[in-house]
Amino acid sequence: MRLNFVMVLLVGFLLMSLHFPAHHVSFGDVNPDRSNAVGGTKFGEEVFAPADTQFIEMGVIVGQMKFDKPQIKVKAGQPVAIVFKNNDVMLHNILILHPGTLEQVGMAADKMVADPKAQEKGFIPELEAVMHASPLVNPGATYTLAFTAPEKKGDYPYVCTFPGHWRLMKGIMKVE
């Protein structure tokens, strides 16, 4: 009888740990695949990050193919976590680009339509202009893109590169 009670307790603790998962977000250099996010955190998951991390909630204006924030401000060299909630009805991603490269990246993303593996690649062009990128985020899902803001102050574009979206779905990350 006592053994069954202990088993019930162990199973209960195991289920609790599965029910309340924690997700660790790390910060550092750009990974080879140009994504610094280490996971697609789901709504309600806990994110561990440095105390000085600037969290920015980003969504979509439904049906307009626009981010709900046309501009965000971050501090140079500080950790940033963009919590992107795709509250739209279609797939979206978010890429952080080097200044002056929006059109280059957008045009390259449009050309990816001819690539049979484009969706598998998340419609993320393989260009040095791409600093950080999320995968395609399903409707209703949330993804946390974690990175360290550039040291160099300036205006860094962010964009969705799902084909055709980049012309409307874009914004500026001001690094101050």
Task: DSSP for 7-58, please give it.
Answer: HHHHHHHHHHHHHS-EEE----SPPTTS------PPTT-EEE--TT-EEEEE
Beta bridge mates, 58: 84
Q: Could you give the number of structural domains in the chain? A: 1
Task: Report how far apart the first and last C-alpha atoms of the chain are (Å, whole number).
Answer: 64
Chain segment 59-93, per-residue pLDDT in tens: 999 999 999 999 999 999 999 999 999 999 999 99
CATH number of the domain encompassing residue 149: 2.60.40.420
How many angstroms separate the Cα of 175 from the Cα of each of 18, 27, 60, 139, 152? 38, 17, 22, 29, 7
Q: How many Å apart are CA 66 and CA 70, to the nearest integer?
A: 8
Please give the pLDDT value at position 50: 84
DSSP letter string, 96-134: EE-TT-HHHHHHHHHHGGG-TTTTTTTT----TTEEEE-
Structural domain includes residue 10? no
Q: Give the Cα separation of 77 and 121 in Å (integer).
A: 28
User: Are the CB atoms for 96 and 158 separated by under 8 Å?
Assistant: yes
> What is the pLDDT at residue 115?
96
Residue 33 is which amino acid?
D
Q: Which residues of the chain fall short of a pLDDT of 50?
A: 1-44
51: in domain: yes
Give a yes or no: residue 8 inside a domain.
Answer: no
**Beta carbons of 93 and 86 less than 8 angstroms apart:** no
For residue 136, the enclosing domain spans 22-175
Question: Does 14 reside within a domain?
Answer: no
Nearest-5° angle of CA 73, CA 104, CA 170? 35
d(CA 88, CA 139): 6
| 6 lies in some domain | no
**Is 7 contained in some domain?**
no
